[in-house]
Chain A
Amino acid sequence: MLHGVGASRGIGIGKIVCIKEQSLDYSHVVSQGSEQEKKRLQEAVETFCEVTQKMADDIRERVGQKESEILSGQVMMLNDPFMLGQMQDMIHSGSCAEAALDSVCQMYIEMFSNVEDELMKQRATDIRDIRTRMLRLLLGVETVKISEVPKGTILAARDLTPSMTVGLKPENVSAILTEIGGKTSHSAILARALSIPAVLGIPGLLEQVQDEQTAVVDGEKGEVILSPDADTLYRYTKQQEEQLRQKATLSVYRDKPTVDADGTAYQLYANIGSVMEAQSALENGAEGIGLFRTEFLFMDRPAMPTEEEQYEAYRAVSHVMQGKEVIIRTLDVGGDKEIPYLKMKTEQNPFLGWRAIRYCLEETELFCIQLRALLRAGAEHRNIKIMLPMVTGVEEIRRTKELISQCKQELKERGVAYEDQIEVGVMIETPAAALTADLLAKEAAFFSIGTNDLTQYTMAVDRGNAKVENLYKTMHPAVLRSIRSVIHAAREAGIPVGMCGEAAADPALIPLLLSFGLNELSVNSASILRTRKIVSLWKHEEAEQVEQAAMALDTAQEVEAYMASVRRA
């Protein structure tokens, strides 16, 4: 049995497929003569184009137009007669196909990397990809295409980065296992968003598993049973069936509105962190996106994402969710996440440091790129709203609005369409914001309560610190009072107030949130149906009684015990 972090709940049963990194060293290859090498190159080019075009067609609907065009662009580039001619010249001079391919590609990678034009710089990445995949073809290195794994696959990799999982088909992946990572890594977030069981951080994983090996994965407990015997397999299959049955009973809620037992309506949205998750959110019955985390666009890459790239991502989600709101949070990173090109220094207290809106309001060039991309992306379906993270005062909202005006002017001059009436709201996640919510409500179009950080800052607790993490309690009277007063301030001012922190998905907390007067709950896709069901079980009067009782208690433990006792479903 293997042990790791249970990062995404559920039982997964299937066959292991190992995702390994392969070496592209071709120093051992000797040219078999120019005619033979040209032939090898030509064959590899043909295979590459065939495979890539197929991939492009396949992902156009599922992932996005933009990703699809990048692939068909690669086909076009590799077919450039001039570039192929250069490779053939090198072969005539005695190089093997691999060396010719590599040298010519490196030359173009260098050339495009040094260009000033942002869009053109991106082409360097495409050529790098062409080089890698062509070398694999020429060297005969087998790679597993994650997008093509068969049904019932358990992916086992060292790590799964965003670029690796672009074409992943959730219906074919039974579970995800990785060597590194934990509850908050990309693989974890992705697995939860797609409701795929996952166990991460299994040391030496790839040495302990084999391709085709049957395994049972328990994403709740963080356990992996390899080559289970018949009894074990039977037991887990039954467990899996039970879980699927429960999921099915929830599916009746998919197309229902979110109403409490009195018929009062609420908005039930989804939190997402990538374009791909939007589809999943929709399928799970999300009525909108309450939090679109944009950090994924900035991570795992050597340079800033261009305005065009950002625009494509925001537009794609806007399109998938047309007719529904999409609340997009501006860049929320700090020194804790390693993003070298952002030039953030290591700080003593990164969570109290130069991050999020503070960073953006100083690095206005970067911020404006994101703002322009958002303005443009909102033009077509007019469903995008901007949300600012880590706000502590009205001046941050005002300054952002000034920058937005500036960006609108720039776009006007460029003759590009943009959403003129785009709304700007804020996350309430700092005590400063919570305590002056009434002042912020005058400038913000809406609030979304970020309970994760609000709890940390209010309780003065680092959630990642094992020694004190037991003090992190959203049900502490201090946090609950903050949440309640924020909601009241919003309602006073007549602006919508939602919650996108983890607490929104806590079944025990729902009656309080309803009674406080929350308008919108935004939860991870897998929790939407359950949340809708629970909301439907509460009458307003009953929820009010819970509020009265809960808010009279002295300690977090007492509140937790009480809320657990009155919990429904």
Chain B
Amino acid sequence: MVSAKVTVINPMGLHMRPAQLFIKEVTPFGCDVTIRFNGKDINGKSIMNLMAACIKQGSEIEIQCSGENEQECLKAAVALVEAGLGE
């Protein structure tokens, strides 16, 4: 398992559109993706769980990737969040 901390910079946080992008980005790699936020573990491939977590602008999250291609997946995920998740 590999992980990294990153800050969400989107003005409206991790709402539907950026969450969709995140999931589209990480799913092809095939590994498990977990987002640790506020002491809770959130399924990184579940849009319902991501949205329900209400991750706002400025929140620090820890992205955990576990399984095949975990390194590449983490790299891509971090890059996407740092770039603002398409916004």
Residues of A within 8 A of B (CB): 69, 73, 76-77, 80-83, 108, 111-112, 115-117, 119-120, 123, 308, 414-416
- Of the listed stretches B48-56, B60-68, B69-77, chain A binds B48-56
Complex Cα spacing A414 to B45, Å = 29
Q: List residues of chain B with CB within 8 A of the CB of A117.
A: 13, 54, 56
Least distance between B26 CB and chain A CB atoms (Å): 13
Q: Top 3 nearest A-B pairs by Cβ distance?
A: A82-B46, A117-B54, A80-B48
Q: Which residues between 33 and 59 of chain B lie within 8 Å of chain A, taking CB atoms?
A: 43, 45-49, 51-52, 54, 56
Residues of B within 8 A of A (CB): 11-13, 15-17, 20, 23, 43, 45-49, 51-52, 54, 56
Is A76 within 8 A of B15, CB to CB?
no
Is B15 within 8 A of A108, CB to CB?
no
Q: List residues of chain A with CB within 8 A of the CB of B45.
A: 81-82
Is A69 within 8 A of B12, CB to CB?
no
Q: List residues of chain B with CB within 8 A of the CB of A80.
A: 46-49
Q: List residues of chain A with CB within 8 A of the CB of B13.
A: 117, 119
* A-B CB contact pairs (8 Å), 25 listed: A69-B16, A69-B17, A73-B17, A73-B20, A76-B20, A76-B23, A77-B47, A80-B47, A80-B49, A81-B45, A82-B45, A82-B46, A82-B49, A112-B51, A112-B52, A115-B52, A115-B54, A116-B54, A119-B13, A120-B15, A120-B52, A123-B51, A308-B12, A414-B11, A415-B11
Is A111 within 8 A of B52, CB to CB?
yes
Complex Cα spacing A558 to B45, Å = 74
Listed residue (B11, B13, B15, B45) with the most chain A CB atoms within 10 angstroms of its CB: B15
Closest chain B residue, CB of each to CB of A416 = B11
Is A108 within 8 A of B54, CB to CB?
no
Closest chain B residue, CB of each to CB of A119 = B15
Least distance between B52 CB and chain A CB atoms (Å): 6
Is B20 within 8 A of A108, CB to CB?
no
Closest chain B residue, CB of each to CB of A414 = B11
Complex Cα spacing A117 to B53, Å = 10
Closest chain B residue, CB of each to CB of A108 = B48
Q: List residues of chain A with CB within 8 A of the CB of B51.
A: 112, 120, 123
Closest chain A residue, CB of each to CB of B24 = A76
Is B11 within 8 A of A83, CB to CB?
no
Q: List residues of chain B with CB within 8 A of the CB of A416.
A: 11
Least distance between A306 CB and chain B CB atoms (Å): 10
Is B54 within 8 A of A83, CB to CB?
no
Complex Cα spacing A115 to B12, Å = 15
Known: A82-B45, A123-B51. 19 other contacts (CB 8 A): A73-B16, A73-B17, A76-B20, A76-B23, A76-B47, A77-B47, A81-B45, A81-B46, A82-B43, A82-B49, A112-B51, A112-B52, A117-B13, A117-B54, A119-B12, A119-B15, A119-B16, A120-B52, A308-B12
Q: List residues of chain B with CB within 8 A of the CB of A308.
A: 12
Least distance between A475 CB and chain B CB atoms (Å): 51
Q: List residues of chain B with CB within 8 A of the CB of A83.
A: 46, 48
Closest chain B residue, CB of each to CB of A127 = B48
Complex Cα spacing A108 to B46, Å = 13
Complex Cα spacing A308 to B46, Å = 23
Q: List residues of chain B with CB within 8 A of the CB of A73.
A: 16-17, 20
Listed residue (B11, B16, B45) with the most chain A CB atoms within 10 angstroms of its CB: B16
Complex Cα spacing A409 to B72, Å = 42
Complex Cα spacing A117 to B50, Å = 13
Least distance between A118 CB and chain B CB atoms (Å): 10
Complex Cα spacing A308 to B54, Å = 16
Closest chain B residue, CB of each to CB of A117 = B54
Least distance between B25 CB and chain A CB atoms (Å): 13
Least distance between A85 CB and chain B CB atoms (Å): 9
Q: A73-B20, A76-B20, A415-B11 are in contact. Are A120 and B54 (CB under 8 A)?
A: yes
Q: List residues of chain A with CB within 8 A of the CB of B15.
A: 119-120
Q: List residues of chain A with CB within 8 A of the CB of B43.
A: 82
Complex Cα spacing A73 to B43, Å = 18
Complex Cα spacing A418 to B76, Å = 33
Least distance between A65 CB and chain B CB atoms (Å): 11
Closest chain B residue, CB of each to CB of A307 = B12
Q: List residues of chain A with CB within 8 A of the CB of B49.
A: 80, 82
Least distance between B33 CB and chain A CB atoms (Å): 12
Least distance between A225 CB and chain B CB atoms (Å): 48
Q: List residues of chain B with CB within 8 A of the CB of A120.
A: 15, 51-52, 54
Least distance between A371 CB and chain B CB atoms (Å): 18
Closest chain B residue, CB of each to CB of A86 = B48
Least distance between B46 CB and chain A CB atoms (Å): 4
Closest chain B residue, CB of each to CB of A107 = B48
Complex Cα spacing A80 to B51, Å = 12
Q: List residues of chain B with CB within 8 A of the CB of A69.
A: 16-17
Least distance between B74 CB and chain A CB atoms (Å): 20
Complex Cα spacing A308 to B48, Å = 20
Least distance between B42 CB and chain A CB atoms (Å): 10
Is A82 within 8 A of B52, CB to CB?
no
Q: List residues of chain B with CB within 8 A of the CB of A414.
A: 11
Complex Cα spacing A139 to B12, Å = 38
Is A77 within 8 A of B48, CB to CB?
yes
Listed residue (A82, A111, A116, A414) with the most chain B CB atoms within 10 angstroms of its CB: A82
Listed residue (A73, A116, A308) with the most chain B CB atoms within 10 angstroms of its CB: A73
Among B11, B16, B20, which residue has its beta carbon within 8 angstroms of that of A123?
B16
Is A82 within 8 A of B16, CB to CB?
no
Complex Cα spacing A77 to B15, Å = 12
Listed residue (B17, B45, B51, B56) with the most chain A CB atoms within 10 angstroms of its CB: B51
Least distance between A364 CB and chain B CB atoms (Å): 22
Q: List residues of chain A with CB within 8 A of the CB of B11.
A: 414-416
Q: List residues of chain B with CB within 8 A of the CB of A81.
A: 45-46
Closest chain A residue, CB of each to CB of B47 = A80
Complex Cα spacing A152 to B47, Å = 41
Complex Cα spacing A82 to B20, Å = 14
Least distance between A484 CB and chain B CB atoms (Å): 49
Least distance between B47 CB and chain A CB atoms (Å): 5
